[in-house]
Amino acid sequence: MGLVYDLVVIIVFALVGGAIGYVTNVVAIEMLFRPKKPRCLLPGKKLCIQGLIPARKEALAKRLGEVAAKYAYSDTIRGRYQERLEKEVASTVRDAIVERLSGSGIRSALTEMLLPGIAEMVAKAATPLIMRLVEEASKRINIAEIVEEEFMNLPVEDIEKIFRQIAGRELRFIEIMGFVLGAIIGLVEGIIALIV
């Protein structure tokens, strides 16, 4: 046949292969979230399909809760949390003392000079006690349960939105790679079709 015909055949095969690869990957990504409710293809609830996230939402919630609890209770996180909490508690206690003493009507140059030091001393004395109370209360709070409940309360639409915000670029890359790989396969098929 002719060279132009051969090129057209190869290009058509590549474009069709690329389109198939692209559409396949778009559908695969959509199937992570859809259908939201099980859709049965045969009567009697046989051969049902459902999106991965809606179908496994409970397992995902449980696992997220476990992971959150594992890291929340780690020594590193607890140390950083305690350090920040101590600063905030000390600052809050200091501010409360300054506010109380300033509003008490006992205002003099001496009071104004001593006030920050007094506030600092009281804050340092009160902070360990408050920290112990917070620590005890924290032990009674089940972070895994809280995270699991919150995730279970999220609608699938919100989970999809979060997922797409986090991995949007990567999902787009997967779609484009579907086109590229499909086009390469189509190109090879076009060449084979011409040879055979």
- Residue 145 structure tokens: 């349960």
The predicted structure's pLDDT at residue 15:
96
What pLDDT does residue 182 have?
Answer: 96
Q: Is it the case that residue 124 has pLDDT exceeding 90?
A: no
Tens of pLDDT, residues 137-188: 777 888 888 889 999 999 999 999 998 999 999 999 999 999 999 999 999 9
Q: Which of 33-42, 101-110, 184-193 has the lowest mean pLDDT?
A: 101-110
pLDDT at 42: 81
pLDDT of res. 81: 74
Cis omega (within 30 of 0) on the bond before 38? Answer: no
**How many CB atoms are located within 10 Å of the residue 25 CB?**
20
Rounded distance between C-alpha atoms, residue 40 and residue 9, angstroms: 40
pLDDT in tens, 6-60: 899 999 999 999 999 999 999 999 999 999 888 888 887 778 889 999 999 999 9
What the block records as the tokens of 173 is: 């890359």
Look up residue 123 and give its amino acid.
A
Q: How much is the pTM? A: 0.64
